[in-house]
Structure 1
């Protein structure tokens, strides 16, 4: 499927680490000294033990897979988009059964806690996460949310400087935007980073407009639930948009994606995501 930015997903997966589960698969269990992500998890487990809680080190994978790092293949991408679009509504038509919410071993541990224990656990986990992140990365973070925000801001700065500031990518993005406009699409931003995200954000906006995701106060996330039959009504539109986006971006994506992935990986490694 289209290879987009995965850092926000990785961040959400780790922020959901209090046992809510996530649509990601676990990594193998290499030595905790192998990278910052495993070192953070090992440090969190040690900290939780001192607070009287059992915690199993667990790193969500992949953030950026080997497939994502492969050269852009137009024919392969077209075949994928012809079937799945950008993977938004198709995920409701054909749910991936391999994504098990109980893959995280800590889910079972949390489910056995009483309400009072759970409150203490969540407080301890947040404190331990912050302590571990500071210890391993040297980042001055105040919370898991602050850690996620700093990682995202770092990536955005790198994208703006190294991708949006590249004359070749700017020229390719402008040509892609002209092509999309010629097909009747409304493109409001033509910088490279925005063009890479345009199609996915457009489909996600369709999903959010038709299915309320927030409470009236805007502070509670509610997962969207759509029946396969309902999702099929949107999927054909998504597929057409995805193919038009690919056709217009057939020169842009091969130039943009490898560099974008390298920057994402750099930030993931730095922050231990």
Structure 2
């Protein structure tokens, strides 16, 4: 599995999504943070798209299983279950005001929530421990694990190419391609939409009136400004602590999570909750219009990559 930072984003904010290792992209819509808690809920998919994504993901897993077996490794094809979009988090992700307000009052943008409330159990769709392959890799020696992961990367690349036609070197490359593709589609389809541009501009004016610095009011950027603002605070704390950074993670803009005291976590979290609620009040109309379309694009791109191929 790739090393990735443990980040979580508010479902109501629609920002980069914290994912579990090995999650299929179709199951959680965005694959940015990896190996973390609280993956994004899926938007309600059309039956045909959902079926096609599931078929692609299962085909990829089947090919990976056969490939690993031929190389002498044990691997169980496994596709994580997809949760039905029925919870408040799901409604928040799709721009429902009441659900977003409830979630933001409780968790803000969910950046400092884990530091302020370390005793709270994270909400997850599934854990990497749910995969039957977690027990397999646990029993491997360091040398065996290195060989296993190297072969798994090669088998995944082959499977994704066979099913989707896309050339992917490894998991990090897959995540990067997914993110880049999503951003291009968002820019093309949403940042030029006159209605969304108008709503985003009004939201930006409102936020500036409340004292927030909002330099970019493009819809896709404004949608995540709050998450990014507080995520930048975590990154700054990580950069200035005594924990050494992983060079491989740093190449992909990731970092080792800093140690933050509960007192400091609560202080930052209080600021975050206020900002998240102000953001919602300014962007009530914007989120209602933007979030459902964002969710559809996330899922559509996931489908292009065969559900992520993990």
Pair in the same fold by TM > 0.5: yes
The runs of at least 4 aligned residues of structure 1 exceeding 6 Å deviation read 30-33
Aligned to 1:152: 179
Change (3 A) 1:38 1:225: farther
Q: Residues 9-158 of structure 1 correspond to what in structure 2 (within 5 A)?
A: 9-10=18-19, 13-14=22-23, 22-23=36-37, 34-60=54-80, 65=85, 67=87, 70=91, 72-92=95-115, 93-94=117-118, 95-97=120-122, 99=124, 100-158=127-185
Aligned residue in 2 for 1:239:
273
Structural mapping, 1:207-218, within 5 Å: 207-212=234-239, 215=245, 218=250
Contact 1:10 1:60 in 2 (8 A): no
C-alpha distance in 2, partners of 1:61/1:195?
A: 31
Relative to 1, partners in 2 of residues 1:10 and 1:89: Cα closer, same or farther, differing over 3 Å? Answer: closer
Q: CA RMSD in A?
A: 3.2
> Partners of 1:13 and 1:199 in 2: how far apart?
27
- Structure 2 CA distance for aligned equivalents of residues 194 and 45 of structure 1: 39
Structure 1: gaps (5+ residues): none
Find out whether 1:262 has 2:296 as its counterpart: yes
* TM-aligned CA distance change 1:43 to 1:166, over 3 Å: same
**1:245–1:98 distance in 2 versus 1, CA, 3 Å:** closer
Alpha-carbon separation, structure 2, partners of 1:81 and 1:8: 16
Q: Deviations over 1:230-250 (max 9, x none)?
A: 321211101000001001001
Correspondence for 1:3: 12
Size of the aligned set, in residue pairs, is 266
List gaps (5 residues or longer) in structure 2: 1-9, 25-33, 40-49
Q: Deviations over 1:135-162 (max 9, x none)?
A: 1111122333333222222111110010
Q: CA-to-partner distance for each residue in 1:4-48, whole Å, 9 max, x for gaps?
A: 447764596459xxxx954367xxxx9999432222122211211
Equivalent position SS for 2:76: coil
Judge which range, 3-12 or 258-267, deviates more: 3-12
